[in-house]
Structure 1
């Protein structure tokens, strides 16, 4: 199998590419405008040498603009004046000298006036193109910097939101441990083991914007194991994960937040307990993750509202504006549903 080498053009490569293309176009124009002289001895040599001198002079202008720092601050008039009053006349003088050496003759004063006007115009046009390239490069640099700052701001917001999630979760978990210490020390010890597993996961995931659903489910299973010790038969769980969904990435602790709410406002509020259903599927390029518990939709406390709002913000920051987190009551079930594009 043949190796394929990728050629990456640098800024210098692009500069010389456009230099050669531009001056080649000028050479074709000069040849077309002087078509009747094309077959004269020395004419083509004169054109080629004149274009070569134009390339040298324009590159000299480019280097001087950088050396004088005219390209780094608003000095457009200086660059244009230098092109028209220095580069243009120099190119004219070079063209006259080359024409005399190659062909052996020059034109009259009217022809000289036309030549000065033409080459000054060419150098002005070259400078305008050079300024346009500088403007595009600056715009791209500013856009890249703005994008970098936007990414940094997004990352900072994600970290701040994540910092709100973990203490909230551990506070609730420690309350559960406290409730069991005097009633069932063995169960409390098991709960502490599961809590240690959860702490390890949250510490590791706090450095990532997203985690695979598989890892989040493992953390949820540890959490449910804690609550199973507390609620026993009152907590019933059904998990259905469609093929291919295990590797889908979601914000860390997003699913955990929804499951925690289902336990708090489903199982905990019911004397007989409820079933919690966790499902994940995908269709038409979108992923759907749902946590449902039997019960009715109540007016949540402020802490829970903050938790859901936090999860919604982190989802949008990670997956884009097409992502959503909806909470609704349907046929005796309270359903919290995450939806987001798979490609995000």
Structure 2
């Protein structure tokens, strides 16, 4: 039975019980004390219910301070009014003005103590949770970095890139040198991914351009790449290597499986207070199929969840019979 009682109700019951017993010991047990204690439980619980309905945890610090003041005044006033009306009209107890004033002051003091403890508890709890999330995120970024090296920039990609470069050495030495630089940039970025939680969209896009430039050598006219990038999004922060992961997924499971190749379109736009990134490619996405999509898509969902919680989303779908669309929505940082 006791296991199903929440921490809140344990604190509520024990706190008000302690108040009742201390006052009963100092003064005496009376209807006055009993009514005041019961009204205290009622008023604090009612206002707690109201602020939970308002989802106060999402408020800014300024709004939370304002909320603290108003619920302090509101719960203290409600406590006193209910206490006074019950004594006056139910128990027919007409107290002296001095006692009424004393109870009014007590009501506000108790409300101040109760809400101060309540807000401090939730502040400490949220701070602790944020630190745990931060540590989890750091551990995940490092783990994803290792997986990125092993799975995303896999030996097959490096092998294909080196073969393409080797073929260019004699026929187009200048392009071969450029390709080596592009491959170097990609490797350097993947190795540096664990050092930061986010990078600018511009930096991420440069890595994708290098990656696609190398893939264009291999696919030639079978790969057509287009960009639709809002300049205002270039300074926005995104998870490192996320865009590259999704673009490689489009090449590996879309373009490479199509005899005539196809198109890849990368878009980046502002959508209200969110940053929307979409990658469209020729092909078809098969839900739950064992086609190798798993790691790239799951790592994208995991990183977005750890960085932004439910403020970000990721979805992949067949836009029509020819096109697959991967769509990321993130809050603006």
TM range (shorter): 0.5 to 0.7
* 2:243 matches 1:264: no
Aligned-partner Cα distance in 2 for 1:180–1:203: 18
What residue number does 1:178 align with? 159
What residue number does 1:149 align with? 128
Q: 2:201 touches 2:235 (CA, 8 Å); kept in 1?
A: yes
Q: 1:181 touches 1:188 (CA, 8 Å); kept in 2?
A: no
**What residue ranges of structure 2 are gaps of 5+ in the alignment?**
1-14, 29-95, 170-174
Distance change in 2, residues 1:158/1:241 (3 Å): same
Superposition deviation, residue 158 in structure 1: 2.9
**What residue ranges of structure 1 are gaps of 5+ in the alignment?**
1-71, 86-116
Larger radius of gyration, structure 1 or 2?
A: 1
Aligned-partner Cα distance in 1 for 2:161–2:269: 36
Distance change in 2, residues 1:79/1:223 (3 Å): farther
Cα offsets for 1:189-216 (capped at 9, x unmatched)? 7655434323433454434433322121
- After TM superposition, the score normalised by the length of structure 1 is 0.58
Q: 1:266 touches 1:295 (CA, 8 Å); kept in 2?
A: yes
Aligned-partner Cα distance in 1 for 2:134–2:291: 25
Q: Equivalent residues in 2 for 1:1-344 (5 A)?
A: 76=19, 80=23, 126=105, 129-171=108-150, 172-173=152-153, 174-179=155-160, 181=162, 184-185=165-166, 186=169, 193-298=181-286, 300-301=289-290, 303-329=292-318, 330-342=320-332
Distance change in 2, residues 1:276/1:180 (3 Å): closer
Cα offsets for 1:315-341 (capped at 9, x unmatched)? 244344253222122241111111245
Cα offsets for 1:18-75 (capped at 9, x unmatched)? xxxxxxxxxxxxxxxxxxxxxxxxxxxxxxxxxxxxxxxxxxxxxxxxxxxxxx9x96
Distance change in 2, residues 1:192/1:144 (3 Å): farther
Aligned-partner Cα distance in 1 for 2:204–2:26: 64
Q: Per the alignment, in what secondary structure is the counterpart of residue 306 of structure 1?
A: helix
Aligned-partner Cα distance in 2 for 1:177–1:192: 11
Worse-matched range after superposition: 217-226 or 164-173: 164-173
Distance change in 2, residues 1:181/1:249 (3 Å): closer
User: What count of residue pairs does the alignment treat as equivalent?
Assistant: 242
